[in-house]
Chain A
Amino acid sequence: MAPAAFGESVQDLELAARARLDDALTLRDRNRLIGAVYLLGYVAEMYLKVAVYRRLGARPNAQTRPLWRRARNEAERMELPRHLGQWDGGHGLMFWARLLWSLPSAEGTLDGRVRADLFRHVSRIERHWTIHLRYSPNQGGWQEAQIVYASVEWIRRRRFQLWR
């Protein structure tokens, strides 16, 4: 649980992602499946943003607002603007994934296998999640919740690999 006094730092996203993941699993286990998927998408978004910010050299306590701007500038500098169509107000998972695999860290860019797996998992999540899901009157299905959860869990477990 993040202390409220933190403001919005990179580590706030890390802690919030963990908390929302727990919330999503509680909803899933109570068969509130659209609610679970809705939260799971944001969990993926937060973990991807953390990984991008860390690749940009941020420490855990760095504020996210300037990093968010820098991420957009980096995307433009790297001529990724054609993917800004997927920016979606900063919620586009594929945008963050594309940026992530384009940014070098001290250890270089992501290796091909990790990139391919990341693309596969982000694509799977995006097939079932958008920020507009909150307007859906549907109940959602168990299988789709499980698919999204498995892909979010893949990102969570490899997030250190994604940012180092």
Chain B
Amino acid sequence: MPVHKIRRNLSPQAFELRAALVAEWRSPRADKSAEPVIYEVDPGADEPLWLYVVWSRWKDVSPTDRSDVILDAFEEIRGKEELVRIAAAIGLTPAEARAEGIAKMLGRDDEP
């Protein structure tokens, strides 16, 4: 049976978001109110990572595309080998993050 590997291309908007996310990941700003806010939830040795990115610019982006942007940005920064460690890559707007109680879930007091 032939194997068809189909990889969706990012939309121009998503491509732009990916570039912005890569820039933030490479050089995080000191300003704590700046977005995007990236949470890397790493439970430690040999367990998978969860990634949360809280960003107002997700507003018109579908959940699947948000995940693609995060995964592609992560791959660009850390490489394919590390990418396999990601169990979940979730993009949320600040309002969605509040509604989901993300700060509480991550054990943080500062609401995103």
Within 8 Å by CB of A9, from B46, B64, B92, B105, lies B64
A153 to chain B, nearest CB (A): 12
Q: What A residues does B28 contact at CB under 8 A? A: none
> CB distance A3 to B88 under 8 Å?
no
State in angstroms the CA–CA spacing of A60 and B68 once bound together. 9
- Which B45-80 residues have C-beta < 8 A from chain A? 46-48, 50, 63-64, 67-68, 71
B17 to chain A, nearest CB (A): 15
Residues 138-161 of chain A: 1 if any B CB is under 8 Å from the residue's CB, otherwise 0?
000000000000000000011111
Within 8 Å by CB of A3, from B68, B71, B84, B96, lies B96
| B85 CB-CB contact with A under 8 Å | yes
Q: What B residues does A159 contact at CB under 8 A? A: 47-48, 87
Residues 1-27 of chain A: 1 if any B CB is under 8 Å from the residue's CB, otherwise 0?
101011101010011000000000000
State in angstroms the CA–CA spacing of A6 and B67 once bound together. 10
B28 to chain A, nearest CB (A): 23
> CB distance A3 to B46 under 8 Å?
no
Interface residues on A, range: 20 to 34
Q: At the interface, is chain B mostly helix, strand, loop or mixed?
A: mixed
B71 to chain A, nearest CB (A): 6
Q: With A5-B63, A60-B71, A61-B67 as known contacts, state yes or no: A15 contacts B96, CB within 8 Å.
A: no
Residues 53-70 of chain A: 1 if any B CB is under 8 Å from the residue's CB, otherwise 0?
010000111000000000
> CB distance B48 to A160 under 8 Å?
yes
Q: What A residues does B100 contact at CB under 8 A? A: 1, 3
Q: With A1-B100, A1-B101, A3-B92 as known contacts, state yes or no: A160 contacts B85, CB within 8 Å.
A: yes
Q: What A residues does B92 contact at CB under 8 A? A: 3
Closest to A15 in B: B88
Closest to A156 in B: B47
Q: What B residues does A50 contact at CB under 8 A? A: 87
State in angstroms the CA–CA spacing of A54 and B105 once bound together. 25
- Which B76-112 residues have C-beta < 8 A from chain A? 84-90, 92, 96, 100-101, 105
What 3 A-B pairs come out closest when comparing CB atoms? A61-B67, A11-B88, A160-B48
Could you list 14 A-B pairs, sorted by A, with CB under 8 Å? A3-B96, A3-B100, A5-B63, A9-B64, A11-B89, A14-B48, A14-B88, A59-B68, A60-B86, A61-B68, A158-B46, A159-B87, A160-B46, A160-B48
* B binding-site residues for A, Cβ under 8 Å: 46-48, 50, 63-64, 67-68, 71, 84-90, 92, 96, 100-101, 105
* A binding-site residues for B, Cβ under 8 Å: 1, 3, 5-7, 9, 11, 14-15, 50, 54, 59-61, 106, 157-161, 163-164
